[in-house]
Amino acid sequence: MNTVIYYFTGTGNSLAVARDIASRLDAELIGIPAAVKAPQEIQKDACVGIVYPLYAGGLPNVVVRFLKTVSLRNAGYVFFVATEGGKMGAPASQISRLSAAAGHTADACWWIQMPDNYIPLSAPPETAEQKNMYDAARRKVAVIAESVKNREHHLESMSFAGKLFGFAYGPFIKTLPASDRKFTISANCSECGVCAEVCPADNIRIGEHGNNVWLHQCEGCLACLHFCPEEAINIGKKTELRARYRHPSVSIADMKKQKGKSL
């Protein structure tokens, strides 16, 4: 069966997982930011995967927009995989509702723990712990791929803590587009433009001497902060003291590709 995997990533975790799944299923990979701009028809009886990071117990805004744009009526099997820094689970109820509205009820959803990248709240895990997470993720991806091949129905739900945290999802997700108002740029800025290149929302316009223009359509993925080679972008004082994180297999070119652009 034809298989296509749509993904959204900020620091590469979801892309790394999507790539691993795609390699096991011989699937095509398409960035969700690109798919939102240019929707494509799903082939008859296709297997469709959607891989994304968990945001406050729910789906990122761009993934929600994608599911409101795409038609899944032709799909034969639809599955979701959430990557997350904790162990909250997958938002099965939100996934099922949005997938059904798009034309095909979700057949399966899983979650995979990956290194936490939301440094306004906490520092990324140490390198050894990151490696353990990558190894565990590959093992779970192997299980997921076999389940998808067999078109198994499997809906992993939220943990109790995840359900409690989920109450913050609505207010949090509504404030994200304007969250860029909290970003600051230090004198370290070299005006290289990497922040604008990796931003999946095309939310940054490069100005002179670090006076970037933020367009208030932020996805909250922090790609700009983590990929900045000078670590010049911050959100408050806490991030100034914390290490940056990006998945070691994901490049600036990869980040541009997810929105349909190339170097």
pLDDT tens digits, 1-58: 699 999 999 999 999 999 999 999 999 999 999 999 988 889 999 999 999 999 999 9
Distances (CA, A) of 125 to 32, 108, 118: 27, 29, 11
Rounded CA-CA distance 223/241 in Å is 17
Q: Are 116 and 124 in contact (CB under 8 A)?
A: yes
CATH code matching the domain that covers 3-168, chosen among 3.40.50.360, 3.40.50.10320, 3.40.50.150, 3.40.50.720: 3.40.50.360
Domain boundaries, the chain: 3-168, 172-257
CATH entry 3.40.50.150 includes domain 172-257 = no
Place of tokens 């729910």: 58
* pTM summary value: 0.95
Q: Do domains 3-168 and 172-257 have the same CATH topology?
A: no
Q: Return the bridge partners of 113, or none.
A: 84
Rounded CA-CA distance 169/220 in Å is 13
b vs e for 94-110, b when ≥16 Cβ sit within 10 Å of the residue's Cβ? bbbebbeebebebbbbb
Rounded CA-CA distance 164/160 in Å is 6
pLDDT digit string, tens, across residues 66-102 = 999 999 999 999 999 999 999 999 999 999 999 999 9
| Residue 31: other Cβ atoms inside 10 A | 24
Over residues 226-232, the mean pLDDT reads 96
